[in-house]
Amino acid sequence: MTVTNEQKTKLVNQAKVAYASAYAPYSKFHVGAAALTAQDNIVSGCNVENASYGLTVCAERNCIAQAVIGGEQDFKTLVIYTEQEKLTPPCGACRQVIVEFFEPQAIIMAVNHLNQSKTWTVDELLPSAFTPKDLI
């Protein structure tokens, strides 16, 4: 699935907007995410922490959930935005959810406030992943 430079720019901008809405009073680690669906719609999400830390939901999973709520389950790419100098890949739980909805060669991109970026394929983030194809 092809993603244009214009779409990438829009994704980064939407991830920045989502970042500004993050609820992270405990870690102070704000994250925004934006994904491009197969229908070329952009959905976004931010991390939402909870005093019971295990109930925290990451930006990537909130972003994907927004699309699913809207009736979309296929994605082209996902952008993660933070204001960290070290570019931030998705956590393990997010990688597993990403594998559920993205093709193995889909691009996942981390971007920061310094306009640095790093990309991975889904397969690079979670090689030999457990997927629906593994279910009997």
Please give the positions annotated as active site.
60
Structure-block tokens of residue 48:
């939402």
Q: Closest Cα partner for 62 from 24, 22, 20, 17?
A: 22
116 Cβ contact list (under 8 Å, min separation 6): 87
Q: Per 3-state DSSP, what percentage of the chain is helix, strand, and coil (rounded to 5)? A: 35, 30, 40
SS3 state of residue 102: strand
In angstroms, the CA 67 to CA 91 distance is 20
In angstroms, the CA 9 to CA 33 distance is 13
